[in-house]
């Protein structure tokens, strides 16, 4: 059994006022200390390669995606956010998506698509902000999802590194 | 301007006084009594009695009416309606007792009314130094002196009247049937 | 006619300043609380967030007016008015500065009126503000509001006693109920003649009682968010809610002014007896501003009392102390 011994208060403590003044002096000093608030839109959150933001598609060469529209991410997606229509192409990879659409309102940023992708075509970017006026505007097509290899390179390196561990 | 203000204040005082009696909701009664006191204070002010006006608001408006409101809210009289009046109550049947009570009430009431009227007429004499006051505050020593020396008997009689009223209210309110035993539904 | 015009202008200016100060006080409350918690506070609307009260006001106007089911609509509407009006009326007797001479026109003393019974007027009208709280709580037809209203009224009645007894000490020392006379009695150029030095205990009790009287932290049982949602104004929205807040902040400002007048020599300037009116006004504003800041400062420092502790403090500590203080004051005055 735990016995808590009550401290007998001194007269100064029972009068409250000295203690109140002590508290007031603490809050007064706090007013002049540096602020810890982040002024968000001007000072964005720091991001690094571990940041799991919104999914983006990697652009392999000029104007072409790395995606071969295999549909693995579509199948892996627990929120059914991804819709892919594939088509044939003359390029070496033979298939590419005609339509690659992610409904950002459904996406839960879980990163399963990134894990499922065999072609290093889809990655979780560091982009976090999402806002719009209509539901339609949240259905991102290829034009909105396409990012250059350089932009996604840190994340690619990171994924490769952690995959080597298994 | 002063006349107009007086008529407005007097009209409000009378209307709200009627409202006190007629309102079904006790809280509305209290609020109209409060505005009645407020307009009385305005009338005092117009007559030059700043002190009386302030005391009227301070004591009646600020202290006593808050107590009234408190009691009314705590007792939750909102649901009481006249059909619930219990006619089996001995107070309604014992004619002799109720007649006696009525007689005492009328006697005390009329005595105080006569006292007030006579006192007012007496005080209105300029030689008695209360009306008309040049400065509202300067009349205060005269008022205090009159109240605590010459008119101390009517002053005390008025407080006895108030006490009698309080006791009467207690007797009426403490009727047994209005408080059903705890845990038992009222039939 | 000229006098009437001057009074009209004075009234407009003082009330404009009061409402402006109340609006700024809401901003100051948020700013200071933020700084004490190492935050910035509102800084988006206008420079340093100065237009935030305006934005809040516009937002309040556009909010929907709600009247709860089963509430008494007239009393429900009356309550915010009864809360705001007395608080704003009391500023009429506060003396802000001495004789004002503006552009060669003698405008008289800087206060709306110098009543002979200024203190009584202030106490009487200030006492009415409890109706706003209690009626608002009752008319809302909500258990939280009712509890908040009951608590607030019990608290205000309890602390009004000590408050008035303390005011009586000062009145007895000056021998006048006129706030300007009380100020002038302290305006000797020597700060030691301020009442705070002759009545230190009264000063402490008075300041603490003003906190209870204005329902501010650490005695804000009328609101008491964790227990009562928001107390008496839980069911209020839109401008009615804003009126409650206006009343609360006006009451705080008036109480700060009253503390200044009664204990810190009002508009008197230390070591300068016949200061020009704008120096006096500056002195008054600095002192009253400190007490207004103290309201905010204490709110963001102390935890809330328990209700029984509050009643204990009011009836068993402050009331006897205030009575004893009055007794000693009276004895000293009659012996001296």
Q: Encode pLDDT of C250-293 as tens digits.
A: 889 999 999 998 888 888 888 887 778 888 888 889 999 999 99
pLDDT at B73 over 80: no
Distance (Å, whole) CA B37 – CA A154: 79
Confidence label for B117 from pLDDT (cuts 50, 70 and 90): confident
CATH of domain A55-164: 3.30.70.3270
Mutation site, C122, C128, C157, interface B, largest B CB count within 10 A: C128
Q: Based on the number of CB atoms within 10 Å of its own CB, is B108 exposed (0-12), middle (13-18) or buried (19 or more)?
A: middle
How confident is the model over B174-184, as pLDDT tens digits?
665 555 555 54
How confident is the model over A118-137, as pLDDT tens digits?
888 899 998 888 888 999 99
Give the residue-averaged pLDDT of B74-102.
59
Q: Which residues of C are less than 8 Å from A32 in CB distance?
A: 35
8 A C-beta contact, residue C50 and residue C212: no
**Average pLDDT score, chain B:** 73
Any contact of A with B, at least 3 CB pairs below 8 A?
A: no
Give the residue-averaged pLDDT of C38-56.
86
Any contact of C with A, at least 3 CB pairs below 8 A?
A: yes
Contact B70 C117 (CB under 8 A): no
Contact C121 B66 (CB under 8 A): no
Close Cβ partners of C154 (under 8 Å, ≥ 6 residues apart): B70, C311
Contact A36 C301 (CB under 8 A): no
Among candidates B57, B164, B87, which has minimal Cα distance to C117? B57
Confidence label for A166 from pLDDT (cuts 50, 70 and 90): low
Residue of C nearest to B25 (CA): C72
Strand A139-140 and strand A122-124: pairing? unpaired
Percent of chain B with pLDDT over 70: 68
Return the minimum-mean-pLDDT range out of A45-54, A100-109, C186-195.
C186-195
How confident is the model over C291-304, as pLDDT tens digits?
999 998 988 888 88
Q: Which residues on neighbouring strands pair with residue A147, listed in sequence order?
A: A58
pLDDT of residue A1: 81
Interface ipTM > 0.85: no
Give the residue-averaged pLDDT of C176-197.
84
Contact A23 C204 (CB under 8 A): no
Considering the domain B1-84, what is its CATH architecture? Up-down Bundle (1.20)
8 A C-beta contact, residue A81 and residue A102: yes
Any contact of B with C, at least 3 CB pairs below 8 A?
A: yes
SS3 annotation, chain B: CHHHHHHHHHHHHHHHHHHHHHCCCHHHHHHHHHHHHHHHHHHHHHCCCHHHHHHHHHHHHHHHHHHHHHHHHHHCHHHCCHHHCCCCCHHHHCHHHHHHHHHHHHHHHHHHHHHHHHHHHHHCCHHHCCCCCCCCCCHHHHHHHHHHHHCHHHHHHHHHHHHHHHHHHHHHHCCHHHCCCCCCCCC
Contact A27 C301 (CB under 8 A): yes
Distance (Å, whole) CA C197 – CA C173: 13
pLDDT at C324 over 90: yes
Question: Of the candidates C38, C39, C301, which has its C-beta nearest A24's C-beta?
Answer: C301
| Chain C: closest CA distance from residue B148 (Å) | 21
pLDDT of residue A102: 92
List chain B domain ranges: 1-84, 86-187
């Amino acid at each position: 059994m735990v016995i808590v011994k009550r401290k007998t208060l001194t007269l100064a403590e029972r009068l409250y006022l000295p203690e109140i003044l002590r508290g007031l002096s603490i809050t007064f000093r706090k007013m002049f200390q540096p602020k810890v608030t982040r002024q968000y839109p001007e000072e964005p959150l720091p991001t690094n390669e571990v940041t799991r933001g919104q999914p983006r598609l990697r652009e392999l060469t000029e104007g072409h995606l790395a995606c071969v529209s295999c549909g693995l991410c579509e199948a892996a997606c627990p929120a059914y956010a991804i819709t892919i229509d594939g088509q044939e192409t003359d390029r070496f990879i033979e298939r590419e998506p005609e339509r690659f659409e992610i409904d950002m309102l459904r996406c839960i940023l879980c990163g399963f698509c990134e894990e499922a992708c065999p072609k290093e075509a889809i990655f979780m970017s560091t982009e976090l902000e999402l806002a719009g006026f209509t539901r339609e505007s949240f259905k991102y097509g290829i034009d909105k999802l396409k990012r250059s290899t350089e932009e996604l390179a840190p994340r690619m390196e990171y994924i490769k590194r952690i995959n080597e561990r298994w | 301007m002063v006349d107009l203000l007086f008529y407005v204040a007097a009209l409000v005082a009378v209307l709200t006084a009627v409202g006190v009696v007629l309102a079904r909701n006790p809280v509305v009664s209290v609020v109209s009594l409060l505005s009645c006191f407020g307009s009385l204070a305005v009338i005092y002010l117009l007559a030059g009695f700043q002190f009386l006006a302030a005391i009227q608001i301070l004591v009646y408006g600020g202290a006593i009416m808050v107590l009234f409101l408190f009691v009314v809210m705590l007792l939750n009289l909102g649901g009481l309606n006249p059909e619930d009046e219990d006619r089996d109550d001995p107070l309604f049947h014992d004619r002799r007792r109720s007649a006696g009570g009525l007689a005492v009430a009328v006697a005390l009431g009329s005595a105080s009314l006569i006292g007030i009227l006579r006192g007012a007429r007496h005080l209105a004499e300029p030689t008695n130094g209360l009306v008309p006051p040049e400065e509202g505050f300067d009349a205060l020593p005269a008022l205090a002196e009159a109240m605590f020396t010459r008119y101390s008997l009517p002053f005390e009689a008025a407080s006895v009247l108030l006490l009698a009223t309080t006791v009467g209210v207690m007797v009426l309110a403490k009727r047994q049937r209005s408080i059903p035993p705890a845990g038992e539904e009222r039939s | 006619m000229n006098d009437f015009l001057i009074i009209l202008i004075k009234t407009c200016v003082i009330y404009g300043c009061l409402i402006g100060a109340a609006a700024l006080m809401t901003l100051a409350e948020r700013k200071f609380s933020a700084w004490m918690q190492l935050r910035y506070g509102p800084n988006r609307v206008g420079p340093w967030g100065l237009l935030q009260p305006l934005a809040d006001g516009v937002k309040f106007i556009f909010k929907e007016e709600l009247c709860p089911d089963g509430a008494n609509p007239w009393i429900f509407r009356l309550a915010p008015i009864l809360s705001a009006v007395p608080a704003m009326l009391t500023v009429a007797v506060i003396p802000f500065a001495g004789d004002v001479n503006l552009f060669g026109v003698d405008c008289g003393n800087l206060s709306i009126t110098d009543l002979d019974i200024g203190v009584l007027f202030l106490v009487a009208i200030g006492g009415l503000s409890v109706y706003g709280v209690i009626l608002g709580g009752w008319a809302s037809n909500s258990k939280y509001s009712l509890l908040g209203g009951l608590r607030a009224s019990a608290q205000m009645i309890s602390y009004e006693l000590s408050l008035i007894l303390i005011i009586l000490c000062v009145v007895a020392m000056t021998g006048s109920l006129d706030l300007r006379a009380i100020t002038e009695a302290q305006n000797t150029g020597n700060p030691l003649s301020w009442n705070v030095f002759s009545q230190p205990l009264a000063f402490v009790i008075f300041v603490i009682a003003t906190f209870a009287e204005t329902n501010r932290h650490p005695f804000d049982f009328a609101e008491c968010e964790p227990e009562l949602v928001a107390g008496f104004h839980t069911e209020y929205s839109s401008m009615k809610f804003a009126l409650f807040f206006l009343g609360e902040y006006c009451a705080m400002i008036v109480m700060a002014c009253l503390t200044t007048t009664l204990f810190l020599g009002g508009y008197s300037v230390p070591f300068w007896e016949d200061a020009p009116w704008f120096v006096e006004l500056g002195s008054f504003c600095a002192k009253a501003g400190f007490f207004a800041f103290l309201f905010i400062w204490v709110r963001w420092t102390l935890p809330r009392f328990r209700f029984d502790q509050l009643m204990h403090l009011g009836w068993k500590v402050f009331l006897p102390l205030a009575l004893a203080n009055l007794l000693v004051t009276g004895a000293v005055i009659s012996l001296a």
